[in-house]
Amino acid sequence: MGDPDGHRTRTRLLAAGILGLWAVIAGLAAPATLRLASVETNDFSSLLPAGAPSTLALHLLHRVEGANRNEALVVWRAARPEEHLDAVVAPAEAAIEHARINGVISIGPIETAPDHLVAIAPVVTNGAEAGTLAAVARLRSTVSATAPPGISAGVTGPAAFETDLLGSLAGVDTKLLVVTALLVTALLIANYRSPVAWVLPLIAVAAAELLANAATYLVARVSPVNGESTGLLTVLVFGIGTDYALLLTSRYREELGRHPDDLHALAVAYRRAAPAIIASATTVTAGLACLLLADDGVTHGFALVGMLGVAATAAAMLSAYPALLALTGRRIFWPLVPDGNGTKPGHSFWGAVGRSVGRHPRIVWMGGIALLITMGAGLSRLDTHMTTVSDLPPSAPSVKGMELLAGSLPEGITAPAFVTVTKPASATRARQVASSTPGVFYTSGIARRGAIATFDVVFRAAPVGQSGLAPVRLLQNRLAAADGHSALVGGQTAQDLDTARASRRDLFVVGPVVLAVTVIVLGLLLRALAGPLLVAATVVVSYGAILSAVAALSGPVLHWPGIDPSVPVLSFVFLVSLGIDYNIFLMARTREELARDPGSGIERAVAATGGVLTAAGLILAGTFSALLVLPLIPTKEIGLVVAVGVLLDALFVRSVVLPALVVDTGHGFWWPTRLSGAVTARRHRKE
């Protein structure tokens, strides 16, 4: 026999060494984390679908006008008709010119609406991302300070919309980190019921966050990374990190009830939980890698960032967190320290659920699936006709500026389109087609440079929802019919339309690949064929129910204009990849319990995992619900869909419906493993 005291000493020295290594990693990663915001890019042209008509049109326009040209629109509105409104606001226009705002290259001339209520002046800017933000901010302050008495004033237009979108992402990382950390802390304290145990997961997660941010910083120096991606990264790291900590801690607490030696209990818990955590992290990483197949720039761009985050989190929770547990021992659970006597899993709420599932499995799973299908019936009414302007909150200054035009001038002038023609001889014909297209208010003269001709198109409808997208789609179709692919429509609303098309394509391309990856990983973990396919089927039905429920709430309850087209594919990947955690932990424990006792294996597995899956679901849902504090509607929608989905998955699908399916299908679920024969034989003996 070896020296037990020596073994304990060596184990704790190893744990201290691991923590020392992580302290070094954290120290090296901290400076990169602080500089991450400086290398983020929110240049929308870098996030557009590659090869889309509006993207190609934008590249052609850059060859004509330069890459940084943009336009804002100053709007003045009188309370009552002013016959000489242009003369009234002329001093304000002069004040803007006198301010000599950096990045502003031209102002005016002033145009007055026929009802003499509204006057407008176009302002052309020429600056990169930071320059546009500064120019619009200075322009707004000047317009506000110089507006004549009794006149409301605002700044809207493409440059203003872009500024508000970029501004909404400013400070996102810090705000989201604080809100997420507070939520996770509260949920961990409630779960552990200990004044100290909750600290250890947060220490390990903080180390993972630093490492993930440092890796993202390096990636951002060679590939575009935007603020939304780094915000999602924070939520992802906190969510799956605390989930992994909960799953390991739950098994550790369980083993402490069986073994008096805390290090032995930790070793047993680690051997049981680590394979499932590794399988989970592998699945989530593979699922996020599938986003590399996406055409949408935002979706595609998050793939590498998310993969780095999952890898960093798994590394921290499989090394730093066990090391912390090894050094602190069982006293970390004070005042409810496990004493080695253990509690049998059957005497609990989830034990009762397990027994009910075992007695009436077919009724349970058929009823559950019927409920989910009924919830998903509203998918046919899903409205994904969102635009850039729809993504902004109603309080955004650019939206308020656009509203000043209502009833006096077409709100479509705030987001003009442009047409680029690569066959100059066809330019006149293309302009005639555009001018005769229903919904078009105005077309400008043709500008030519070399082999490229361009002209602007102003629509009547506001660049919001289906009414804003429909005339752009019609123009694209009419130009394609008249001139083939030589005439391309660009501009903000055309980009929104192409982004929506890319997102719909991504859902039907990326979605099946993600499902296939999860089936393969589950098949390898369970060594079964039919079971993983049944799990995938429950994932699809559950996702449809969740998206339908959120879509039903978005309009009448939350007053959102619709579901952003990027939300379905991103939330699907999140729900499948993160939800597979619960499948893996439940099925791994089910296999373990069935091998031990086929007769009561499901009951014991549900009893053992129900509580921890509930806690993990609450924490993961809590972290994603932190996205609701951000101003952009698509980010809120992702947070809500994933939060609701995780809760439904953890509390109902994985804990009730799936166990019932396992019981009812019997050997079919586990075929062709030997376990299927044991389950079948036991069922025959019971019958």
Render 358-416 in DSSP notation, one character per residue: HHSHHHHHHHHHHHHHHHGGGGGG------HHHHS-TT-HHHHHHHTTTTTS-GGGGS-
**pLDDT, position 188:** 76
Compute the average pLDDT of residues 338-343. Answer: 58
By mean pLDDT, which of 72-76, 566-570, 599-603 is the weakest? 599-603
Q: Which of 104-108, 437-441, 620-624 has the highest mean pLDDT?
A: 437-441
**pLDDT, position 181:** 80
Q: Is the pTM of this model over 0.85?
A: no
Q: How confident is the model at residue 42 (pLDDT cuts 50, 70, 90)?
A: low
Q: Look at 478 and 451; give whichever has higher pLDDT.
A: 478
Compute the average pLDDT of residues 542-552. Answer: 88
The DSSP call for residue 651 is I
- CA nearest neighbour of 317 among 224, 251, 364: 251
Compute the average pLDDT of residues 330-351. Answer: 66
Contact (CB, 8 A) for 530 and 668:
yes
Q: Is 601 helix (H, G, I), strand (E, B) or coil?
A: helix
The DSSP call for residue 119 is E
| Helices within 221-296 (DSSP H only) | 227-256, 262-289
Residue 512 has pLDDT above 50, yes or no: yes
DSSP letter for each residue of 30-82: HHHHHTHHHH----GGGGSPTT-HHHHHHHHHHHHH-TTEEEEEEEEEESS--
Q: Which tokens go with 649?
A: 């998955």
- 543 exposed, middle or buried (CB, 10 Å; 0-12, 13-18, 19+)? buried
pLDDT tens per residue, range 581-592: 777 777 777 777
Residue 685 has pLDDT above 60, yes or no: no
The DSSP call for residue 649 is I
Q: Look at 507 and 259; give whichever has higher pLDDT.
A: 507
Compute the average pLDDT of residues 200-216. Answer: 92
**pLDDT, position 29:** 93
Residue 2 has pLDDT above 60, yes or no: no
Residue 679 has pLDDT above 60, yes or no: no
**pLDDT, position 677:** 46
- CA nearest neighbour of 159 among 86, 71, 244: 71
Percent of the chain surpassing pLDDT 70 = 93
Q: Is 126 helix (H, G, I), strand (E, B) or coil?
A: strand
Q: What is the mean pLDDT of the chain?
A: 85
**pLDDT, position 458:** 95
Contact (CB, 8 A) for 474 and 439:
yes
Q: How confident is the model at residue 341 (pLDDT cuts 50, 70, 90)?
A: low
Contact (CB, 8 A) for 564 and 384:
yes
Compute the average pLDDT of residues 165-194. Answer: 75
Residue 603 has pLDDT above 70, yes or no: yes
Residue 419, beta-bridge partner list: 455, 489
By mean pLDDT, which of 119-128, 191-200, 244-253 is the weakest? 191-200
Cα-based distances in Å from 332 to 200, 254, 288, 456, 613: 9, 14, 35, 67, 21
Residue 488, beta-bridge partner list: 420
**pLDDT, position 38:** 76
Residue 595 has a CB neighbour count (10 Å cut-off) of 14
**pLDDT, position 455:** 93
Instruction: Tell me which CATH code domain 168-335+343-387+498-686 carries.
Output: 1.20.1640.10
The residue behind tokens 């590399």 is: 292
Backbone angles phi, psi at 224, to 5 degrees: -60, 130
Residue 403 has pLDDT above 50, yes or no: yes
Percent of the chain surpassing pLDDT 90 = 31
Q: Look at 148 and 177; give whichever has higher pLDDT.
A: 148
The DSSP call for residue 485 is T
Backbone angles phi, psi at 148, to 5 degrees: -60, 155
The DSSP call for residue 631 is S
Residue 417 has pLDDT above 80, yes or no: yes
Q: Which amino acid is at 553?
A: L
**pLDDT, position 441:** 94
Provide the pairing of β-strand 452-459 with 417-421.
antiparallel
- CA nearest neighbour of 553 among 646, 640, 651, 642: 640
Residue range(s) in the chain whose domain bears CATH number 1.20.1640.10: 168-335+343-387+498-686
Residue 384 has pLDDT above 90, yes or no: no
**Crossing angle between the packed helical segments 227-256 and 601-625, to the nearest 10 degrees:** 150
By mean pLDDT, which of 131-140, 251-260, 565-574 is the weakest? 251-260
pLDDT tens per residue, range 608-667: 777 777 887 888 888 888 888 878 888 889 989 989 988 888 888 888 888 888 888 877
- 3-state secondary structure string, 605-627? HHHHHHHHHHHHHHHHHHHHHHH
Residue range(s) in the chain whose domain bears CATH number 3.30.70.100: 68-156
Q: Indicate the CATH number of 68-156 among 3.40.605.10, 3.40.50.300, 3.30.70.100, 1.10.10.60.
A: 3.30.70.100
Residue 676 has pLDDT above 60, yes or no: no
Compute the average pLDDT of residues 527-543. Answer: 87
Compute the average pLDDT of residues 275-291. Answer: 88
Q: How confident is the model at residue 121 (pLDDT cuts 50, 70, 90)?
A: very high
**Count of helices and strands (H, E) across the chain:** 25, 10
pLDDT tens per residue, range 9-39: 888 899 899 999 999 999 999 998 888 877 7
The residue behind tokens 């935007």 is: 226
Residue 538 has pLDDT above 80, yes or no: yes
Q: How confident is the model at residue 108 (pLDDT cuts 50, 70, 90)?
A: confident
Q: Look at 314 and 390; give whichever has higher pLDDT.
A: 314
H helix or E strand, kind and range, residue 12: helix 4-34
